[in-house]
A = this chain, B = another copy of it.
């Protein structure tokens, strides 16, 4: 089976629509699909899915779930390697700014998914599904992972998605710093805030800092962490949440 796929024997049996899909995939991914049915599935939105037995529908949602995980890992490693001196808080936050509905949706559109989606859905593309292309992009990543394996998929994500489409410098410049957000807020609203170190649990050299954020002299939120800086960030994060400060 695998040999037949590698020899691309199935290509001989493609109909017109399948030929179109295979060549569109080649444009996006850089090489022809081995198992085209995975890609057909990746473009099958739940709203046009077929019911194969009672309650079981075949749609791209399962591939989307898988692709979401693979994308998360590849981006995690990308940032891990690129920023050897940044802590995991920074990495996690930067990742969530890369992998989110809106940015994936934009990238999905830029690499040309709308045309394929339209063709695969026979023109019935809905306007109401805002994250359609982001979801489809994740499903496509799931299909590539199953079709070509982890390392091929990783290369696809790094070379054809992250490098050309994500402006990392810009993303990093705006990565949320809760402490600075709350300070900004206090200046605008003319409030007095300060971070007060409440306690330091120094048990057996394991430090836990507890920091209290006071607003106009009275305690407003509390954060804990292994460093003073992290405890302050945590206290500020909770305060931002309580105050419903948006970013």
A66 within 8 A of B: yes
Residues of B within 8 A of A126 (CB): 203-204, 206
Residues of B within 8 A of A125 (CB): 204
A48 with B124, Cβ < 8 A, contacts A62-B88, A69-B73, A92-B65 known: no
A72 within 8 A of B: yes
Residues of B within 8 A of A72 (CB): 69, 72-73
Considering the chains assembled together, what is the distance between the CA atoms of A64 and B87 in angstroms?
11
Q: Which of B56, B201, B205 contacts A48 (CB 8 A)?
A: B205
Residues of B within 8 A of A205 (CB): 47-48, 124
Q: Mark A205-225, 1 if CB is under 8 A from B, else 0.
A: 111100000000000000000
Interface of A is mostly: helix
A24 within 8 A of B: no
Q: Mark A141-157, 1 if CB is under 8 A from B, else 0.
A: 00001000011000000
A127 within 8 A of B: yes
**B87→A76 contact, CB < 8 A:** no
Q: Mark A107-134, 1 if CB is under 8 A from B, else 0.
A: 0000000000000000011111100000
Q: List 20 A-B contacts (CB under 8 A).
A: A45-B206, A47-B205, A47-B207, A48-B206, A56-B85, A57-B227, A62-B87, A65-B88, A68-B76, A69-B72, A69-B73, A69-B76, A70-B76, A72-B72, A125-B204, A126-B204, A126-B206, A127-B203, A150-B150, A150-B151
